[in-house]
A and B are shown apart, each in its own frame.
Chain A
Amino acid sequence: MNSKIWKLVIGIALLSLLITACGSAATPQAPTAPATTAPVVTEAPSATSEPPIKVGASLPLTGNFSAPGTAAQKGYQLWADMVNKSGGLLGRQVEFVIYDNASNPDTAVADYERLITQDKVDLVVGPFSSKLVIPTSEVAAKYGYAFPEPAGGAPNVFNRGLTNIFFAQPAPSVDQAIPFAKYVLSLPADSRPKTFAVITGDDPFSVSVVESVQKLLTDGGLTMVLKEVYPADTKDFSSLAAKVADKNPDLIIGGTQFEDSVGQIKAYQQAGYQPRGAMFTTGPSLPKEFSEALGTATEGVFAPISWFEASTIKTNPEFVKAYHDKYGSEPIAEDSANAFTVGQVLQQAVENIQSVDNAKLIEEMHKATFTTVVGPLSFDALGQPKGSFMVLQWQGGKIVIVGPDYAKQADPIWPKPQW
């Protein structure tokens, strides 16, 4: 009798634990409460009667993309704060509803469905990275929402006949590393690399960036000695690194997000592979996380970048100051700036047409040129931006812009020191 009761109690306890556990794992993070995140301007005189403009987003705050996802959230939040401090958008306060999709495309899709149909947000902005932008932009398109987004620049983002996407970086991903490839090809013959390897994660963004570099370098006379595409969730890079070390190419081109850029470099260190040059698509552009994970091994690593902190382009100094006032003195991640850019595009489009009507917004975003922290931004019919990226290099533990000439802060170091 006694043991039966015990079994029942344990059974119920287990069941309830299970339910709560599953619940906490599956439900997205509660929307950030507007009352706590909005600045102290709750008594904005003109805004009291009007309801706030709700802007929805689902971001990868946890999981593989959590580092850039969290950076994007800061950019969005900062933009909303700055708008609200200056009297709001169309005289109304901006309120963000943000869910965590744990870097999972299925969750991200469900989140945008929920934002549009249940939370009834007025506007939506995109998540981080092509992998999540591709499925979620379809949701936005289904409901006729404009979808300005900070980080989805792969070819598949633009080739599905959607007209509601606006990629708020200076260039689509196939063009992002062109300045780096040009730099490599401009090196004098005696120091120019002769061989290279392409090691990329199976991700639409990474693959498209590295394949365009691959083409330019091959056309420029370099020999590709190895190309490997690894599953996106790869944790063990040791055998890949052994394979790379065996071929010992002069230049390594890594198609990475963040975790895998760190994983690759650590494995190369263990394998004793010392290239003369190294470029990774994303990862090195995260000023804090990249150096925390790798220490001095960052020295000399290249990456394409859309924005840099010291830029004096219109609105950028204000953004940089407000960022440090809000989040402290840590260096700003590119992804925060890209998310802020999305806010700027959205804000100017709304102000231009004096409405939050999404159909009209889409029309306006195709026509206008926007003043943003990455420079003047305009979009073609597919939503692809018409600008160019820059080249960054890690020097002395910091990100430095080494090209093109108009943005240059220092000369590139070549060959790179050992990692």
Chain B
Amino acid sequence: MTIPSFHLFVQTLILGGLVGGVYALMASGLTLIFGVMRVINVAHGAFLILGAYITYELFQYFKIDPIASILITMPVFFGAGWLIQRYMLSRIANPEQTSVLVTFALALVLEGILGFIFQTTARMVTPSYTSDAFIFATYRFPVTRLIGFGTALLIILLLYLILQYTNLGRAIRATTQDPRAAQLMGINTSMISAFTFALGLSTAAAGGSLLSIIYSFNPSSQADWIARTLSIIVLGGMGSIPGALIAALTLGVMEQMTSIVVTLYWSPIVFYFFLFFTLIIRPQGLLGEIIREKG
């Protein structure tokens, strides 16, 4: 145990907060999909890694900046998400129970294919600004994390605006609250589901691009990331995007702070302890609503 100096304490808060923003983006798609469809997309982590690999390849061969490549990966993932929902998930008889199996299978298939193509060597995208840091009042903001944080918040904000202020968003929220009632009001809920899944996957594309400049990754990293993002949405409250944001920032700060005060070994332990503790007191998560089973 070491008590950090004030400067180190603030610096750690900054690092944790920056990384938490990126976690939030990664988790937002997962929580959105769950909110509308009651489907836990276990393949979310695998799609993050797929996004990271596409970003890596675009950077290696076409020198496309990892942030710019979000403009390519997001539409591609949107399309893929639409197809997966329309032709795979929507055909499952009892999605709330069996979709976990299907998406788990999807995760394993993706990991297998990525492993076959890219092997298990750890990769990282290293644009010229990788080692730069922006300095403000002696505190350092690593450029990659600052960009990651900014981009993540921008996309989450866009997502929030779509959900709050567009007709489409209203339809999505209505479907979240009560699919049957929404259907009776003339909302094409199956289209809404496909759109939501596609939207959720496209945030995974952006998350993957940001991941690729901050962390090294290989195909099996998907398991770490699905564990992390699932914990975030459980803590934040399943289906709540603001909840995911708060939980992600909490996780980010806790991880970094624990490694400063104790060691890196303790980071996951402390977070999971906090998660269990929260769930005992507040089973629905920080901002979640209690879901009533509808007859």
Binding site for B on A (CB under 8 A): 3, 6-7, 10, 14, 17-18, 20-22, 24-25, 61-64, 66, 102-103, 228-231, 234-236, 238-240, 242-243, 246, 259, 263, 266, 269-272, 293, 297
Contacts and interface: CB of A to CB of B under 8 A. Distances in A.
B121 A21 contact: no
Given A103-B120, A270-B144, A272-B135, 8 more contacts: A6-B91, A21-B113, A102-B120, A230-B264, A238-B15, A246-B4, A246-B8, A269-B133
B111 A242 contact: no
Interface of B: 4-5, 7-8, 11-12, 15-16, 19, 88, 91, 102, 105, 108-109, 111-113, 115-116, 119-122, 126, 130-133, 135, 140, 142-145, 214-218, 221, 255-257, 259-260, 263-265
Given A18-B108, A20-B112, A246-B7, A234 B264 contact: yes
Contacts of A14: 102, 105, 109
Contact of A235 (B115, B135, B216, B259): B216
B216 A263 contact: yes
A67 to B, nearest CB: 8
Given A266-B130, A270-B131, A22 B119 contact: no
A242 B12 contact: yes
Chief secondary structure at chain A's binding surface: helix
Given A102-B120, A242-B15, A272-B133, A21 B109 contact: yes
A60 to B, nearest CB: 9
* Max chain A C-beta neighbours (<10 A), residue from B8, B126, B132, B216: B216
Contacts of A18: 105, 108-109, 112
B167 to A, nearest CB: 31
Given A6-B91, A235-B216, A263-B216, A293 B126 contact: yes
8 smallest beta-carbon distances between A and B, as pairs: A21-B112, A269-B131, A270-B142, A62-B119, A62-B120, A246-B8, A239-B256, A239-B259
Contacts of A234: 264
A231 B265 contact: yes
Nearest to A294: B131
B260 A239 contact: yes
Contacts of A269: 131-133
B116 A25 contact: yes
Contacts of B116: 21, 24-25
Contact of A236 (B7, B19, B140): B19
Contact of A63 (B113, B120, B215, B257): B120
21 contacts: A17-B109, A18-B108, A18-B112, A61-B119, A62-B121, A63-B218, A66-B119, A66-B120, A229-B263, A230-B264, A236-B19, A238-B145, A239-B255, A239-B256, A242-B256, A269-B132, A270-B140, A270-B143, A270-B144, A271-B133, A271-B140
A242 B112 contact: no
Contacts of B215: 235-236
A228 B109 contact: no
A259 B122 contact: yes
Contacts of A64: 122
Nearest to A228: B263
A242 B8 contact: yes
Contacts of B142: 238, 270-271
Contacts of B108: 18, 21-22
Given A63-B121, A66-B119, A272-B135, A22 B112 contact: yes
A243 B133 contact: no
B212 to A, nearest CB: 12
A229 B135 CA distance: 28
A277 B4 CA distance: 25
Nearest to A230: B264
B259 A240 contact: yes
A99 B63 CA distance: 34
A243 B8 contact: yes
A6 B16 CA distance: 47
A57 B31 CA distance: 47
Contact of A66 (B19, B121, B255, B265): B121
Contacts of A61: 119
A64 B116 CA distance: 16
